Amino acid sequence: MKSKTNGSYMDEVTIISSGVVIEGKVNSNGNIRVDGTIKGDIVAQGNLTVGDSGNIQGQLTGDIVTIGGKVEGSVNAKDKLVLEAKSVLKGDIVTKVLVVEAGAVFEGKSSMSGQTSAPKIQS
């Protein structure tokens, strides 16, 4: 059963299977799982998962982004970014919460948006 939430179908998952190659920008009003190859940007109005066999060359945007495969490009995760143990990310990150599992490879800069800065110590 699919339910409509805030104008998008959050229960739906678009799956790009292993062996599929897409060149161009991908937009989704819901969740996306990529196990194939995409050469282009991906914008998801829901969660974005890159499986172990997933390979992306482009910018990723989503609410919660989980990377298990390879990504070459920047990542903008609205709520959380998870880099799984076998993931490789070469690009900059903007997110509120960053989870990096042991074994993950990350080359780039990270920015934790939405976080309050540390209080200044007065002398």
- pLDDT string in tens for the chain (123-residue length): 344 445 445 578 899 999 999 999 999 999 999 999 999 999 999 999 999 999 999 999 999 999 999 999 999 999 999 999 999 999 999 999 999 999 999 999 999 976 544 444 454
Residue 111 lies inside a defined structural domain of this protein: no
pTM above 0.75, yes or no: yes
* 19: its two tokens: 């062996």
Domain count of the fold of the chain: 1
Residue 3 lies inside a defined structural domain of this protein: no
Residue 75 lies inside a defined structural domain of this protein: yes
Residue 59 lies inside a defined structural domain of this protein: yes
Domain containing 30 equals 13-99
Residue 95 lies inside a defined structural domain of this protein: yes
Residue 46 lies inside a defined structural domain of this protein: yes
* 77: its two tokens: 């995760």
Residue 8 lies inside a defined structural domain of this protein: no
Torsion of CA 72, 87, 38, 113, to 10 degrees: -60
